[in-house]
Structure 1
Amino acid sequence: MDAWVVARPGPVASRPLERTTLPDPEPGPGELRVRVEACAVCRTDLHLAEGDLPPRRPRTVPGHEVVGRVDALGPGAAGPAIGDRVGVAWLRSTCGACRYCLRGAENLCPSSAYTGWDADGGYAEFVTAPAAYVYPLPEDAPAETLAPLLCAGIIGYRALVRSNLPPGGRLGIYGFGASAHLTAQIAIAEGATVHVMTRSAAARELALELGAASAAGSADPPPEPLDAAILFAPAGELVPVALAALDRGGTLAVAGIHLTDIPVLDYRRHLFEERTLRSVTANTREDGREFLRLAAAHRPRVATTPYPFAAAGRALADLAADRVEGAAVLLMTCS
């Protein structure tokens, strides 16, 4: 099969991705194989390619926002049938037996494994995945707009939950890329007032088009105190900025898997009056199911920038340079 691998982790300008030919993967016990239609490009892929996220195996195929059709079943695979349209997401497997899994926090499982990190992902013609960890997808939506839902959407929803936004509350969003633009629409549809802070003028314009009450620069104060905030930008210097914008009792959730160093915090200004700083670590399958239910109900506009499969390196470079509106998506129908 045709595939891209992370050959030499390093700055995106050094072209860490390499296009190659790999054997078609065979599904193992409980697994299925998916013929890929589209794979969205996540900032986590960029962190992996550049080495911010240490590779767990050599020459990994990245990509964990995969839309495709089941074309082979491994022994004992139950659920999806051949020909079904499914989504393959970041969380690949968990042990199911540890105290985290048993209490419903499988995202914290020490034995968890991830698509495009522990196992080859969707920058390829085929990908395998455990049948119990894929999501059924509708037939009536383009693969290009479904793909970003599988990580950008799901992890954004997880961050929204972690932010403890009260009903009808005021939510601040810092950074406005693939995940943020979906999260904002779900929050607005559920009754929140959303204020967006981002350095990109185009992203600010998009935020207002999607219903944000205001859009300003990344370090600018919102027009009113925030009940909750989510930091999507991987910029640690924005943590004190966002904390200072919170009202009493507010919560800041940091959505990324990688964050630059956080500056020294001032206790009284940033944390006193029961302000809370929380991380977000992966997601549970229940998060994925609930987000996809909300997406089907509210039908958020999914802003995408499509790329042919051959342009995976350019898609990562554009993402690194903030040249992507919404989500970058690799399309297998274009070589």
Structure 2
Amino acid sequence: MSDQFEIPTHCKAGVVINEGPNFHLEVQMVPVPEPGKNALSDHGSFMLYFGIFGLGTYLSILSGPDDILIRLNYTGICSSDIHMMQGDLGLPPMSTFGVRSPGHEGAGVVVKVGSNVKNFQLGDRAGIKPIMNTCGSCVHCWDDKETYCKGAIHAGLMVAGTYQQYLVSPARYASPIPNGVPDEVAAPIMCSASTIYRSLVESSIRSGAWVVFPGGGGGVGIQGVQLAKAMGMRPIVVDTGEAKRKLALEMGAEAFIDFKEVTDASKAVIDIADGVGAHGVFVTAPAAYKTAISFVGDRIGSVIMCIGLPAAGSTVLGTDPCEYIFKNLTIKGTLVGSRKDTAMALDFARRGMLQQICEVYPVNRMPEAVDKLRRGEVAGRLVINFNWED
């Protein structure tokens, strides 16, 4: 049945050049991967990797009969991609794994299926997430912590990411995309919405609570604003610029505080939050960690949720232990969303509670989009349309 789709030998991909602090991106033609062939690197069988959480082994990543080949229509551009290309997270660089294309927010269509695959058929819509696969048999995978699996395979770091139009994925880990959710909406959900959904759930914050998103005009934050609103919370965004103000208020923020226009952004948040302070602070922009605790004011039992990844060793978050004690303060981190989290976020979109927050760029302008994000000039998310050249 694979002859129903014409599969080219090569496809377009955003390829990182001069990996490191002075990287740049080029759009090149690269070979289309095949299920059953090693998709980790060009260096033969890959048996050992340095995982994000320590050393681990993963012996069979892509086994052919259990895989699908996805032709992506869209990929999101995420700040984590910048970290991967700069190599500033303290992880082995992409080149360690023979990877040249980052990305972990892809939405497209299944064009080839392995003989053992039961959950996808040709023509089904499917998404690629930050995690490409897990071991499926460790305590983390059994306990709703699969994204912390030491055998996890990370898209755009350990295998080619969604800046490449055709990708092989284990069928068990790809995400079905429901009807009614366009690919340009689904792509950012694979990371930004599912990531912030996980954080909202793990915060245990209740309906009616004030939640602050410092740096919330970006892709993860603005998805968080929509989900928080849908879950009955009262979101406040702290950011700067008219484009981010407009988007935040359109997406459900009760207030937008431009930190460049007020003398004390923390006081402005506290005044809005009943004159007491926020119940929760969701830090999606690394620069916001330095002021995150100040937004809780005198609120008892608040939680600071750490989501945005700063460069390794660049940021410390904390305060006097007495403040934790007297305010019953919690600081907690969450990684990316699981398969379940992604399915839940997609269902919010299917019900109209996650609107499009992206600006669409043609594939030939992918380097321009990456540079724009690198400069911090993006409201919401940028996505790339692989089927459009300008």
Q: Contact conserved, 2:193 with 2:220, CA < 8 A, in 1?
A: yes
Give the CA deviation at 1:41. 0.7
Partner of 1:279: 333
Partner of 2:172: 132
1:17 partner SS? strand
Q: Contact conserved, 1:166 with 1:227, CA < 8 A, in 2?
A: no
Q: Contact conserved, 1:198 with 1:216, CA < 8 A, in 2?
A: yes
Bigger drift between 48-57 and 311-320 goes to 48-57
- The answer on 1:165 being equivalent to 2:205 is yes
Give the structure-1-normalised TM-score: 0.92
Candidates 32, 38, 49, aligned match of 2:68: 32
Distance (whole Å) between structure 1 residues aligned to residue 188 and residue 324 of structure 2: 33
Q: Contact conserved, 2:16 with 2:23, CA < 8 A, in 1?
A: no
Residues 130-209 of structure 1 aligned to structure 2 (within 5 Å): 130-175=170-215, 176-209=217-250
Q: Which amino acid aligns with 2:382?
A: A
- The answer on 1:61 being equivalent to 2:61 is no
Q: Which amino acid aligns with 1:325?
A: A
Q: 1:205 to 1:268 in 2, by over 3 A?
A: farther
Partner of 1:232: 284
- The answer on 1:119 being equivalent to 2:159 is yes
Give the CA deviation at 1:138. 3.1
Distance (whole Å) between structure 2 residues aligned to residue 150 and residue 170 of structure 1: 26
Q: 1:256 to 1:36 in 2, by over 3 A?
A: same
Candidates 103, 119, 124, aligned match of 1:84: 124
Q: Which amino acid aligns with 1:98?
A: C
Candidates 241, 246, 251, aligned match of 2:303: 251
Bigger drift between 46-55 and 302-311 goes to 46-55
Distance (whole Å) between structure 1 residues aligned to residue 307 and residue 367 of structure 2: 24
Q: 1:136 to 1:245 in 2, by over 3 A?
A: same
Give the CA deviation at 1:104. 2.0
Structure 1 residue runs without a partner (length 5+): none
Candidates 79, 88, 106, aligned match of 1:43: 79
Candidates 327, 331, 335, aligned match of 2:381: 327
Distance (whole Å) between structure 2 residues aligned to residue 191 and residue 282 of structure 1: 22
Q: 1:10 to 1:66 in 2, by over 3 A?
A: same
Structure 2 residue runs without a partner (length 5+): 1-10, 37-62
2:20 partner SS? coil
Distance (whole Å) between structure 1 residues aligned to residue 388 and residue 360 of structure 2: 10
Q: Contact conserved, 2:35 with 2:114, CA < 8 A, in 1?
A: yes
Candidates 344, 354, 360, aligned match of 1:290: 344
Larger Rg: 2
Partner of 2:357: 303
Candidates 68, 73, 81, aligned match of 2:113: 73
Give the CA deviation at 1:282. 2.2
Give the CA deviation at 1:106. 0.8
Give the CA deviation at 1:263. 5.7
Give the CA deviation at 1:240. 4.6
What percentage of aligned pairs have identical amino acids?
A: 28
Q: Contact conserved, 2:133 with 2:154, CA < 8 A, in 1?
A: yes
Q: Contact conserved, 1:163 with 1:230, CA < 8 A, in 2?
A: no
Q: Contact conserved, 2:72 with 2:107, CA < 8 A, in 1?
A: yes
Give the CA deviation at 1:109. 0.8
Partner of 2:253: 212
1:206 partner SS? helix
Candidates 30, 34, 47, aligned match of 1:22: 30
Give the CA deviation at 1:15. 4.2
Partner of 2:150: 110
Q: CA RMSD in A?
A: 1.9
Candidates 270, 289, 292, aligned match of 1:242: 292
